[in-house]
Structure 1
Amino acid sequence: MESDFKEHPKKVADNDFWGQVKRTVHGQPVSQEQIDMIVGSVRSSLTLRPDDVLLDLACGNGALSQYFYGECSEFHGVDFSEVLIARAKQYFEERPRRSFELSDVGSYIVSESNPERFTKALCYGSFSYFPEEVARLVLTNLSCKFKRIERVFIGNLPDLDRQAFFYTDGLDHTQELKEFNSKIGIWRSEAEFRLLAQDCGWEAEFKRMPKEYYAAHYRYDVILTRKA
């Protein structure tokens, strides 16, 4: 899947931003109404303020990131895809306050030289593709190293308890449910994710999108806040 994430955007038109990051239904980009639901949920969950500095991990091409520029003072996005970061820089970068960086998230999270500047963090639609050790590395470093981050929004996570609503072909998909490089990545129940968050220094609050959202029947979002 790693190579797919890097190669797929090369096959898609430069301005097909949702197609590049596979935010699609039956191969077609999702509607603006769907994007507006995502943006609204992120905004309300992160409670963005004008003085916030937002970190977007696995930001893709920046098409979603741009919606939060007016809600914070500074923004920095990180992704491992050369193609997607090139598109982000071409279409959405507004240096010095809105910037993008080519880096693997696991490498970035331990090498960032000024982590104290960030106050909020976002990871939308990508966390399930992190290997388990990277997932823990990211959450632990956000807690211990990025000390000023108050809230983290992790969006569009596949719910292990609802996998039957996605896999309707009657086949046994048990093996791929815990494989980060599978079609959907690692499926976790809310209980599993809560334990993962607690191990890494966070309290987890779970949210569901409205039933009109195209993936509401098998995905959830989580808001992380620091443990008391």
Structure 2
Amino acid sequence: MRLLLVEDDQVVNAGLTRTLSSEGYAVESTLCLADARPLVANDEVDLVILDLGLPDGDGLSLLADIKRRKKPLPVLILTARDALDDKIKGLDLGADDYLVKPFEVDELLARLRVLGRRVSGVTSSTLQCGSVVMDLAAHLVTIDGAQLNLPRKEYMLLKALLENQGRVQSKEQLEQKLYQWGEELGSNAIEVHIHHLRKKLPSNAIKTLRGIGYVMNKHEGH
């Protein structure tokens, strides 16, 4: 998969380029918007990691250009801007994900795998675990074909768990996912929402690994 990294910190850029290349990505890396725009315009990449504070402008301007294309590219924003307003602005402009510096490389790789599956078409517009099916295009969840109505926060939590099947999601990771979408959370919000979500899903659909986090269980009822 062809990946464009737009990051002006030369040390971060070089380190990520090495890591991503070792993971099998064909990486094009640039330090500024001027070098990134032709790569996007000429369809030379499949996925973009985009810093916002660049020497020749705001990365959001490139994001806006990408999302105006007939065939938009998935974009993961990677930035030191952690203010909620900045996150919401980026997501409103069409960013597919948002990771704040400093970050763990393993988390970046996990998020890229999710975006990569969308690009490659390995998965359709649905996510499934056992009898639970989420239609991303219709924002619809069904269990054995029966529609399940979920509040926004429960829907987003379920989406995060389904996108990361087989990988445990910590409370902190789930909190960050909801924060990214502009949701305000109380101190025990994740536990409360998971509790309500469990009542609506098949028995043991969500497993708790005490002190670690949550994971979807493909073998419901066990």
Same fold (TM over 0.5): no
Higher-Rg structure is: 2
Please give the range of the TM-score, normalised by the shorter of the 2 chains: 0.3 to 0.5
TM-score, normalising length: structure 2: 0.34
Which structure would you say has the larger RCO, counting Cα contacts within 8 Å and 6 or more residues apart?
Answer: 1
TM-score, normalising length: structure 1: 0.33
